Chain A
């Protein structure tokens, strides 16, 4: 057993705020500029073996963010890989203990910023489950439509970036162009492009505009040709195919044991999908397949994402066809914010709104209640563990980010391969740093 370097002695097991302040005063210098940033692996002295330690990231175009890998190389082969994360650690969980339940929706956007709506929905579903309330059918259907649109935007970006990393730059530009169609819809619905803050606990901020169906239907017409175009570009691209086939093979047992969910797990045959296994928001009403691949290589992950996009389009079609009318906010205004229109025009709604946003009168789940609620985000299972102490803020808000567990196996997967394979594997894993580090 390796003792933790930062543990105190048994007499003072965990540092308190005062001791911590003293420790920081004493100096905590490795982070001054000029001193190298934190290096987690020991620097290998030149032992004559000809091995080279290469630092990859945290600022590198192929990391798509702030991931850092440390590769020990023999020639071009990776003999040992290690990763360091935390370059985007933001304190989401600590914020969750300090913000009210409604306020934290805003923060949840910034986790997986490629598909913010999935985070909004996941968090709102978790709090609703903690409170035991169910949203109206129209709200649930709209949430499903928007989640699937976000999922498409996320997957298509991943495919585009995968193409870009492997030399097919046009795919990325094409993907971005069609992705803007999703942004147009999101912008029409909530006014922002990326950080949506669209849901509220117990509903959504407002009903969609009248022209929402037109936008979605024109998206459903315009988008699918892109899939064929991308297949045409990539499947006939010998460089792309050779660089992803049989590269980074992940087996089903590994995926299960390491908790790798989402498209990566399903591309290896680990057939879990929260939408089907534990349906939420009425996903069981829609008829869709969960595609599964068996190969588990980077190519399978590409195919998996493309097939999932088709299923998402199918879900959107069904949901649009059966979109019910009615309210979009749960009618118990002890927990859900009334819509803005009502707040501006109706005295009672104004009072509800005022009480809910004032500290001490907001959403107060039962003291001691706790819940683990999972939804299917584009990267995999997005879980929220919320423990309540009966106050306005969560006592503990834990996020189970899919990227964290997906990334855990990455260093072992690239060991034995080449550096260029590591890039191919990383781009097919699609790790979102904001969600990984929280």
Chain B
């Protein structure tokens, strides 16, 4: 069995020749290995590690958005794989994913933990995992249009947190009003442009 051979080897060395050529880069930082590959090879790599090398624990998966950075592609999907038992081993597989078609094949049939990992990655980055039956919104509301962890999404959102009516009792009735505009920074968050301007103005030497 291949696993016997692979015991002491690093994940890269344990790969067979036809898969080793698919690794575009290997990065080591503080003793942790990260293999990079392209999105077309993701499925065959992960399948090999799961079925041939016994990496039976998908610890985590996530993505990185490299908007405007000088990188191979815009998205980088990260899988953290771990093999348990005597020959325990852990490494990461980074998959480059193009902005034009952010699709990857799903791996939930290999590890069930990928079901929610993929769903969250989809919810936060808009990356689609072909074959995953359950890619509904996860953390954000159902009909929400944006993907918050993209780099061009502002930290304070684009006004969605103000889109509620104000519910006030009037006699026996509950009526809905448009929310009041607050003169202070309360209700608008800490760092609105007006607030920053105010602070700058006040802190100027007289």
Contacts and interface: CB of A to CB of B under 8 A. Distances in A.
Is chain B a partner of chain A in the same complex? yes
A202 interface: no
Interface residues on A, range: 35 or more
A108 B163 CA distance: 28
B181 to A, nearest CB: 18
Contact of A400 (B60, B124, B165): B60
Interface string B116-131: 1100101011101011
B95 to A, nearest CB: 14
B123 to A, nearest CB: 8
Interface in B28-69: 29-30, 32, 34, 56-60, 62, 64-65, 69
Interface stretch (B2-10, B14-22, B99-107, B192-200): B99-107
Contacts, number: 179
A21 B139 CA distance: 20
Chain B binding site: helix, strand, loop or mixed by DSSP? loop
A2 B138 contact: no
A49 interface: no
A409 B113 CA distance: 9
Interface string A145-161: 00000000000000000
Contacts of B176: 32-34
A74 interface: no
Interface in A233-264: 254, 256-259
Interface string A44-60: 00000000000000000
B201 to A, nearest CB: 21
A349 interface: no
A405 B135 CA distance: 16
Contacts of B111: 257, 259
Given A85-B138, A86-B140, A21 B159 contact: yes
A433 to B, nearest CB: 11
25 contacts: A1-B131, A4-B128, A4-B135, A10-B100, A14-B125, A14-B126, A24-B145, A31-B141, A32-B165, A33-B165, A39-B142, A93-B149, A94-B148, A254-B112, A257-B112, A258-B112, A259-B60, A366-B29, A369-B29, A369-B30, A370-B92, A372-B90, A385-B80, A395-B64, A396-B62
Given A6-B145, A368-B27, 15 more contacts: A4-B122, A6-B137, A15-B146, A17-B158, A20-B153, A21-B158, A28-B145, A86-B137, A97-B155, A256-B56, A257-B56, A372-B32, A372-B59, A372-B80, A404-B116
Which 7 A-B pairs have CB atoms at the shortest separation, nearest pair first? A259-B113, A86-B139, A38-B142, A400-B60, A23-B145, A89-B139, A398-B62
Interface of B: 27, 29-30, 32, 34, 56-60, 62, 64-65, 69, 78, 80, 84, 88, 90, 92, 99-102, 111-113, 115-117, 120, 122, 124-126, 128, 130-150, 152-155, 158-160, 163-165, 167, 176
